[in-house]
Amino acid sequence: MIQAYTWSAIIVVVLASSAGDVLLSHAMKQIGDLGALWQRTNLFHVAGRILNTPQFLLGIACMTVAFYSLMFALSWADVSLVGPAAAALTFIANAVAAKIFLHEKVDKRRWIAALLVAAGVVLLAG
Amino acid sequence: MTFRKYLVLAGVAVSAAIGDSLLARGMKQIGSVSLQNLAHIILAILNPWVALGILFLLCFFASYMTALSWADLTYVLPATSLSYVLLALIAKFFLHEQVSVTRWAGIALISAGVGFVTRGPELTHVECNAEPRSVSEGEMVGAGKHSGLKR
């Protein structure tokens, strides 16, 4: 039973955090290079710009769901299972989501990198 | 990619690894959280290890947002995955856990993935495509304050 709980929590983590990552990435691309923005204005302006972007706030909401779901999973199972399982699946989900929703050019190099990292993360659990 | 940008990526990886290990330590102290007492998990923030972990994760978040402002999501994620390697090293040297052969293999795979995505002209080409768009958008906002108000 605990195992079913753990895996449901992991699935929630994967879906919520890839949705969050896509939203956050979209928000930051709208805002543009933070370093350049900071040079022209100041810290408060940069923070205000970020907090005024709806996608950013939505992304934070998704990340909050993912965070608490991860906390639940961590309290039910070892970090060595939950961490890698959630991370590996999130890498693959993110590559797919970035291609579909952000229209990023996910070429062979990036697919191989995502798969290598996902496989490596799984091995880390061993 | 400038040296400062690599520093930001390193900041993402290091603060994520430290934050996660602090959180893991704190949650182990708190023990199993049940669905019945949700207050328990909210009060978890009061545990000093969890609090410090959250502080590190805030640093992680700031550098992660900075990285996402000038690089693709599918670039930033693999490039900062060295945090898993750091996490394993922290487990070995600070928590005195055994790092098995499979774990070292995992570390090698992740490092290979990082090397793959951060090297090569294809990437710089993609970076160059992505940058002018975001810079010009940022410039627009800086030039006319009205554009910010209109939104």
For residues B130-148, average pLDDT: 42
Domain range summary for chain A, segments of one domain joined by +: 2-124
> What predicted TM-score, i.e. pTM, was given to this entire model?
0.76
Q: How confident is the model at residue B36 (pLDDT cuts 50, 70, 90)?
A: low
Subunit contact A31:B131, Cβ cutoff 8 A: no
Residue in the block written with tokens 């006319």: B144
Write down the pLDDT at residue A50: 92
Subunit contact A117:B73, Cβ cutoff 8 A: no
Mind listing the pLDDT tens digit for each residue in A38-53? 888 888 889 999 999 9
Mean pLDDT per 10-residue section of chain A, whose length is 126 residues = 87 95 93 86 89 94 92 81 85 91 86 90 78
Residues of chain B in contact with residue A34, where contact means CB-CB under 8 angstroms, are: 65-66, 69-70
Contact between residue B67 and residue B76 where contact means Cβ atoms under 8 Å apart: yes
Nearest CA distance, B128 vs chain A (angstrom): 12
Write down the pLDDT at residue A102: 87
Can you give the three-state secondary structure of chain A, one letter per residue? CHHHHHHHHHHHHHHHHHHHHHHHHHHHHHHCCHHHHHHHCCHHHHHHHHHCCHHHHHHHHHHHHHHHHHHHHHHHCCHHHHHHHHHHHHHHHHHHHHHHHCCCCCCHHHHHHHHHHHHHHHHHCC
Cα-based distances in Å from A86 to A22, A91, B49, B94, B99: 16, 9, 22, 23, 20
Write down the pLDDT at residue B28: 77
Subunit contact B106:A114, Cβ cutoff 8 A: no
User: Has the ipTM of the complex gone over 0.90?
Assistant: no
Q: How confident is the model at residue B149 (pLDDT cuts 50, 70, 90)?
A: very low
